[in-house]
Structure 1
């Protein structure tokens, strides 16, 4: 098997940590550069003692340098905040390096919409059109030939996979969609912040950013494409007192009379060739513990004839499926590998 060289910019955050964990067992993609301005000179094992004795534990963290990355790597993962990623992505792509960007910098196709929601003018709008939205179940052919991947956000991954069959097969009305989503605390990142402290998260449950979460335009953009018309969603987020996991409950008005059996059959058909999407048996609903540390998206369905609604419950691990594992699947496709390479992972239970 051909071995490719990878770089990881921003190794010290949760998504960087998760990528390092996954790359330890990949086999065809070797991490040769891991960068961090604050921790340059230390080994990965010093940063993450859990990597001690594993192949990547001895890799020394370096300062991010585009020329060095371009010379050493076939592909680079950018696990840095929005606004920071766009310049480095443009520089690397310009040097012929394939890039998977885990930030939001290339997800939104309209630069004005990006500026509105992220408070920042896009400095490389000409590159946005080249970026492929990296949802493997929907965009695999384009991902294979891409030079730049906009890795989807965690909430959008859950919501889009949950609603795709209902919208594309005409079961759900595009108007009036409500997405009620809950995330574990790692979704807030690894930065020090009062709201993420253990005593602030444990033994409580709260909503946040109602009506203004930055993943809203990403969800609307992709669902509009699937529905074949522009739509708006009511996207509402909550913080769970757990480390990993997203559970999204999506509510849609039925576009036509349908039984649970009919909707369930349509979902199974839509994901027949998507091994990471598990449409649960009729009557079963997903739980975060069953997807922890994996690429799975578990989907449960309810047809409520009393309210004439379809209820879709979609569940993923926000760090693996919602970020780093999905980034690795995209890298596999870009490099001509089996997308599941290094990602055949069983859930971490209990």
Structure 2
């Protein structure tokens, strides 16, 4: 992810520079770079790495090895390498960081994205210096008194450390972002609302369900009071509230959000409906002892309130072993009901529940 939203820009003025090599080299580089851009647009990962490397090599000859454009091309190449060769990616990335630091100084905002990429590359190896590079990026944002940028860095760091399962660091970074947002950003700023969702998820994971509910209701209130359009953030908040209220045994409150989601999303009869809250069935002891695996296909009615009723078994593998626990679990699921002419109505749906043993 790019926090600063900056990219290499090749302008006509650059190509007219007397410091460039011959016209053929410039033309060849331009073709390669545009091929790289197309590969990125089409998510062609092998081509992305191929053309990122070639553009980097050609770009050093065209722009100069220690130029800003060569550094940006190095960052592109490091990103392409990051998926399978973090060691080489770090070598290339460090060259770019050194070049940008010399050219622009240690407080250049152009250093933020490469610092965050370096964090991403270091974390899988549990390299504690990853935290230092978060700090370097934060120092830059604070130097420029850019509160939004500072919050975005903390948020991006939280997501990266979440992938590394360092949850104490996730909590710290999210709390920093949340504090900045409350102090400096308007309530309806998309970034602030996005962070609010993550904070609510963190609270829920720590069993602070009441606090998570309050946070999510605050998000929804922003849309009700300030924004006159539906947004995925609002939809996510409603969905998570369904699950939280069900965990708290407050089905009536969950129903309100089931209905709101139904109003925001179209119903498709030919598509299996996705539950807003699901309780996984317990693996039957008899099946465990027998090392048996199987599945159960069920048809059921989703009520106007989003509950499950009228469950029937359509088909099953391994007889009745799994049926009882499957039905027991399905009765606790919640859905967004079907709407017709502005009213919630009952509707049929199906689901297959699979029972698989881990190897």
Fold-level match, TM-score > 0.5?
A: no
Indicate the structure (1 or 2) with the bigger Cα radius of gyration.
Answer: 2
TM-score (norm 2): 0.31
The structure where strand makes up a greater share of residues is: 1
TM-score (norm 1): 0.31
